[in-house]
Structure 1
Amino acid sequence: MKHMQTRIQSLTESFANVTIGYCVALAAQMIVFPLYEIEVSISQNIQIGLIFTAVSIARSYLLRRFFNYYHHRSAR
């Protein structure tokens, strides 16, 4: 039996995924940037993380919609 997520469960999962991803990206930037002698303030680091998070959300959404379209079309 296949269990389908409710919309609230999907929203909760998406929010958790984005939040954890943002924190991991921010921590990685704080470690990696100095290794390459890239100096940014914490404020700039947060802004960069937010930009990459927005790009990631858009990429994920567009990819999901593409695969949904592809699978729906091939099921006909």
Structure 2
Amino acid sequence: MQKKSHSLIESLINVLVGYGIALAAQLIIFPRFGIHISMSDNLMIGALFTVVSIVRSYALRRLFNRFTVKAHG
């Protein structure tokens, strides 16, 4: 069984890598749709979605871990 702290660390690393990819994608995709915003706005949008993603990833990890423990317990 994975410890809660390990679940959080794994989720954070996953999301931080995703943040970098998402930021790069925003910088490429937004202008092609006529969306022109400052770098600070791009960073803030990415940060907000990152927080949402961390919570989602951690919650799903814990949920699946609970099902795994019940199935094997």
RCO comparison, higher one (Cα < 8 Å, 6+) = 2
Counterpart check, 1:61 vs 2:58: yes
Most deviating of 11-20 and 23-32: 11-20
| Structure with the bigger percentage of helix | 2
In 2, Cα distance between equivalents of 1:34 and 1:61: 32
Give the structure 2 partner of residue 43 of structure 1: 40
Q: What are structure 2's unaligned runs of at least 5 residues?
A: none
Cα distance change, pair 19–60 in 1 and its aligned pair in 2 (3 A): same
Larger radius of gyration: 1
Gaps of 5+ in 1: none
Paired residue type of 1:67: F
Question: TM-score when scaled to structure 2?
Answer: 0.76
* Structure 1 vs Structure 2 CA RMSD: 2.7
TM (norm. structure 1) is: 0.74
Distance 1:32 1:18, change over 3 A: same
Q: Is the 8 A contact 2:8 2:58 kept in 1?
A: no
